[in-house]
Amino acid sequence: MATFLVFEPADQARTQAAAERVVFLREKFSFWAFLLTPFWLLRYRLWLAFLVWLVVFVAINLLGGWLGFGPFAGIAASFFPSLLFGMEAANLRGKKLVRKGYRDAGVVIAEDIETAERRFFETWKDAPATTPKASPPGYPEMKFAVAAEQNVIGMFPTPGQR
């Protein structure tokens, strides 16, 4: 099962035109963000993240040269920032979408993108766009048991109900 972050335009009503602009980001390790970090950052116009990567890359290489390591040691050490960008790729893109005027519409767990879209849009039109406490689409409704009333610890269905 994969986890998808869903972002929708914050300034629009839930119409067909707004549905076309909904963005699904699969939360996983991005091989391309790891392997080609600067090009990936520029492709998605993550300018600030690119500048951070560039400063860290130059600092690692300058520090490695100052300490007497060869140029290949600096390149090998820059592997770690690229690894971090590979792991945080979906979150970086999500934060950029929020800055562009999208809002976090929830999380969907599905096998693939088509199933995630279907699960999200089944409840999307019916739910108001500004309900902060509504369950995210793709999650079943959960009932929280109160420990003091029913002697249950944790999140379990209420005894006798399904």
* Intra-chain end-to-end CA distance of the chain, in Å: 24
Exposure string for 108-132, b = 16+ CB within 10 A, e = fewer: bebeeeebbbebbeeebeeeeeeee
Amino acid at 129: A
Contact 116, 2 (CB under 8 A): yes
Query: pLDDT in tens for each of the 162 residues of the chain?
Result: 899 999 999 887 788 888 889 999 999 999 999 999 999 999 999 999 999 999 988 888 888 888 888 777 777 887 888 999 999 999 999 999 999 999 999 899 999 999 999 999 888 766 665 544 454 555 555 444 444 455 555 565 555 555
Q: Which residues contact 148 (CB under 8 A, 6 or more apart)?
A: none
Structural domain boundaries in the chain? 2-124
Q: Which residues contact 70 (CB under 8 A, 6 or more apart)?
A: 64
Q: Output Rg (C-alpha) for the chain, integer angstroms.
A: 22
pLDDT of residue 147: 44
pLDDT of residue 131: 47
pLDDT of residue 146: 43
Dump the DSSP string for the chain.
Answer: -EEEEEEEETTS-SSHHHHHT-EEEE-S--HHHHHTHHHHHHHTT-HHHHHHHHHHHHHHHHHHHHTT--HHHHHHHTHHHHHHHHHSHHHHHHHHHHHTTEEEEEEEEESSHHHHHHHHHHHHTTS-TT-TTSPPTTS----PPPHHHH---SS-PPTT--
Amino acid at 8: E
